[in-house]
Amino acid sequence: PADRWPLLGEFRSWMRMNRGLTETTLDVYERVLVGLLETLGDEVHAYSAESLRAFVLERARPHGIERAKSIAVAVRAFLRFLGATGRCAPGMDYAIPGFACWQLSAVPQYLPSEDVERVIDSCADDANGLRDRAVLLLLARLALRASEVAALRFADVDWNNGSILVCGKARRQALLPLPQEVGDAMLLYLQRGRPSLQVPEVFTTVKAPLRPLTRAAVTHIVRSALRRTGIESPINGAHVLRHSAATTMLRQGASLADVGAVLRHRSVRTTAHY
């Protein structure tokens, strides 16, 4: 898309520099914006409030509320970029409609703790299994996101002090304790499972082509473990372990503030969703 529309490449660079967005989020935005450019054209100075609203409403029509909100956010971000770089009138982002969504209308879906343990214990004692167990423990015990596990580097792990540095959304960094169980699983993978690939990322593929794991690969690890155990998960991906970790912490008596600190939420209202 960036080859066809260089403007999208500029947008991605601007968002990385000024908003700290991850490549995963930018990929989601780009899918929406390709549709915008195909529908309205690339003469962005000629965009009108009416045409922008019509695009967002039409694009959101077949989807649920969360997807509709995501479409609106992507278009607003693009219009802010256009305004900031002088390509369209400032304030065009206010033309994009909002979508009503009741706060706390439903609690996040999760797995019972016994099912989480079955998922973790399903890993084999080979190179793939050692890696997968370490990945699953990071997701289940520290409530990391798939992208955060994929991005974890050796420099982020402080073995002496038992902590890891996690770079989350908007480049926000947080220092989290590394539980003994998780640290042991990571060391076992590094000693017996990781190929000698000279890259800074901790987790890599085990078979050729050798390369660091992607967010999608981490999600696939969770999906494979769910299939092995025959567990019917409400979310077929890595995020179910994040929700499960938060729910377990609350049930064990942790405060909302404690859970929010582990999940790295900016607002206690977000944590209150649990």
Q: What angle do CA 248, 168, 150 make, to 5 degrees?
A: 85
User: What is the Cα–Cα distance from 269 to 274, expressed in whole angstroms?
Assistant: 10
The order of strands in the sheet holding 157-158 is 157-158, 163-167, 173-177
Catalytic residue among 131, 133, 141, 265: 265
Please give the Cα distance from 259 to 250 (Å, whole number): 7
Q: Which of 118, 153, 169, 220 is labelled catalytic?
A: 169
Q: Is 273 a catalytic residue?
A: no
- Short-list 129, 139, 28, 153, CA closest to 78: 28
Residue of 12, 133, 141, 145 with catalytic role: 145
- Catalytic residue at 274? yes
Identify the active-site residue in 131, 194, 215, 239: 239
Active site annotation includes 145:
yes
Q: Which of 215, 242, 243, 264 is catalytic?
A: 242
CA distance 93 to 72: 9
- Beta strands 173-177 and 163-167 are antiparallel
Task: At 64, list the tokens.
Answer: 């649920």
Catalytic residue among 47, 110, 189, 274, which? Answer: 274
- Quote the crossing angle between the two packed helices 127-142 and 180-192, to the nearest 10°: 160
CA gap 155, 143 in Å, rounded: 20
Cα gap 211→200, rounded to integer Å: 11
Q: Can 242 be counted among the known catalytic residues?
A: yes
Active site residues: 145, 169, 239, 242, 265, 274
